[in-house]
């Protein structure tokens, strides 16, 4: 069973929606235009219910099958937000907004789920209910969590959830997935080292925070190399180092460092937080200063559920002939919160030989639309077969 013919017919129309969204990117929860466009289309398709304002600017829509004796309810989720990146693609439908760009392909995800919604409203060839979830603020804002916190899962009695992300570097329209931990937990740390500033020529009269923080940056690398069991995955990256003085002849009184921790297991996440606090306090004490550590837990590990992953892979094989095992991804994914609330699976669809996501020259590949839409539709029709 290859891609559905209907999506080959709809591809030009879905591509138009995608490019319109691409041209008008909106960041985090500010997806007002995109949410309105999504709600308007869903209403036009004849969805049984369209609700806006879930998780601030999220949109939820319901499509009932020809019959509903199964009592099954499946949630399908797309993300709508763009990134604060200045687009450099030179496309004729490139972003019209400076420093905002669909550089992660969420324009494509939204358009593909709209395409599936159009098809499913037309055909309703299933026994059960589909809930379409369009979330804002995937890129670090936790929009998916806010939709869950708004009671979405219970309100629509969602029993399983499925998600999809395009993946550059994989053949267009091919699929890959893995069961269990898939995307990393993404935490942030913010550490201020305090000492005593002074003249750079009289270091003995200061407590030098630059030397202190530099030692800490190096020591933090020992969490991955010396503390965590090497069979586990962990990344500790210091990404910002700012001194309170910018002068060449002043020893700064404070240095602030920031960074991120990526882990795939709860115990390694706990270990990283504990060691960052211990190492920074210890290094600061060594030099007679102090460290103030703020550790912020972001997205949890995104864990694919076994049964739903097997099913999602089977559907992918039906659509494109094969489904590969995806590698672990040390990036984060807000869909993790939905998978904490309900069983489900998240799959990658190939975007071809394009720039990587979050790159100013990235673009979603419209040729992936028929495969992506067919996967959504088949998830519904196979999981809730018509009576």
The set of catalytic residues is: 81, 138
Residues numbered 73 to 112 that lie near Zn ion (CB under 5 A) are 104
119/335 with CB nearer Zn ion: 335
302 vs 315, which CB is nearer to Zn ion?
302
Residue closer to Zn ion by CB (options 104, 253) is 104
Cα separation of 58 and 129, whole Å?
19
Residues 6+ apart with CB under 8 A from 15: 111, 366, 369
State the number of binding residues for Zn ion (CB under 5 A): 1
Distance, in Å, from the CA atom of 41 to the CA atom of 157, rounded to the nearest integer, reads 23
Provide the minimum distance between the beta carbon of 327 and Zn ion in the complex, in angstroms, as a whole number: 16
Give the whole-angstrom CA distance, residue 65 versus residue 49: 13
Nearest residue to Zn ion, scored by beta-carbon proximity: 104
At 231, list the tokens: 């069979």
Between 293 and 368, name the residue whose CB sits nearer to Zn ion.
Answer: 368
In whole angstroms, how close is the CB of 86 to Zn ion at the nearest point? 16
- Shortest approach of Zn ion to residue 55 CB, angstroms? 16
Region of 345 (left: φ > 0; alpha: ψ -120 to 50; beta: rest) is beta
Q: Smallest gap, in angstroms, from Cβ of residue 103 to Zn ion?
A: 7
Which helix (DSSP H) or strand (DSSP E) does residue 357 occupy? none
Task: Quickly tell me which residue has 């308007």 as its tokens.
Answer: 40
What is the nearest approach in angstroms of Zn ion to the Cβ of residue 297?
19
Provide the token pair at 38.
Answer: 């999504």
Q: Cα angle vertex 279, ends 276, 282, to 5°?
A: 145
Nearer to Zn ion by C-beta: 104 or 338?
A: 104
Shortest CA distance to 41 belongs to which of 25, 63, 26? 63
Residues engaged in binding Zn ion (CB under 5 A): 104
């Amino acid at each position: 069973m290859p891609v559905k013919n209907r999506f080959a017919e709809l591809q030009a129309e879905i591509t138009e929606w995608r490019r319109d969204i691409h041209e008008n990117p909106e960041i985090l929860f500010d997806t007002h235009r995109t949410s309105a466009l999504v709600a308007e289309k869903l209403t036009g398709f004849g969805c049984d219910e369209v609700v806006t304002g879930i998780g601030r600017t999220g949109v939820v829509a319901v499509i009932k099958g020809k019959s509903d004796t199964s009592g099954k309810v499946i949630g399908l989720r797309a993300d709508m937000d763009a990134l604060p990146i200045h687009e450099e693609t030179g496309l004729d439908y490139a972003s019209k907004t400076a420093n905002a760009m669909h550089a992660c392909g969420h324009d494509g995800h939204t358009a593909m789920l709209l395409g599936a919604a159009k098809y499913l409203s037309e055909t309703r060839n299933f026994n059960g209910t589909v809930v379409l979830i369009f979330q804002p603020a995937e890129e670090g804002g936790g929009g998916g969590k806010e939709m869950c916190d708004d009671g979405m899962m219970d309100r629509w009695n969602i029993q399983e959830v499925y998600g999809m992300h395009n993946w550059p570097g994989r053949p267009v329209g091919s699929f890959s997935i893995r069961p269990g931990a898939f995307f990393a937990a993404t935490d942030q740390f913010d550490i201020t080292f305090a000492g005593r500033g002074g003249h750079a020529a009289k270091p003995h009269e200061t407590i030098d925070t630059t030397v202190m923080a530099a030692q800490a940056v190096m020591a933090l690398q020992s969490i991955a190399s010396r503390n965590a069991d090497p069979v586990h995955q962990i990344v500790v990256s210091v990404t910002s180092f700012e001194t309170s003085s910018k002068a060449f002849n002043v020893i700064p009184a404070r240095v602030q460092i920031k960074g991120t921790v990526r882990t795939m297991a709860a115990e390694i996440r706990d270990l990283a937080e504990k060691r960052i606090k211990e190492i920074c306090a210890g290094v600061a004490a060594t030099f007679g200063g102090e460290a103030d550590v703020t550790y912020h837990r972001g997205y949890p590990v995104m864990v694919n559920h076994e049964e739903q992953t097997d099913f999602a892979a089977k559907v992918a094989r039906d659509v494109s002939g094969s489904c590969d095992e995806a590698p672990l991804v040390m990036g984060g994914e807000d869909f993790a919160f939905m998978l904490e609330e309900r069983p489900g699976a998240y799959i990658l669809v190939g975007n071809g030989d394009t720039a990587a996501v979050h790159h100013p020259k990235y673009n979603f590949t419209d040729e992936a639309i028929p495969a992506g839409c067919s996967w959504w539709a088949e998830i519904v029709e196979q999981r809730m077969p018509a009576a």
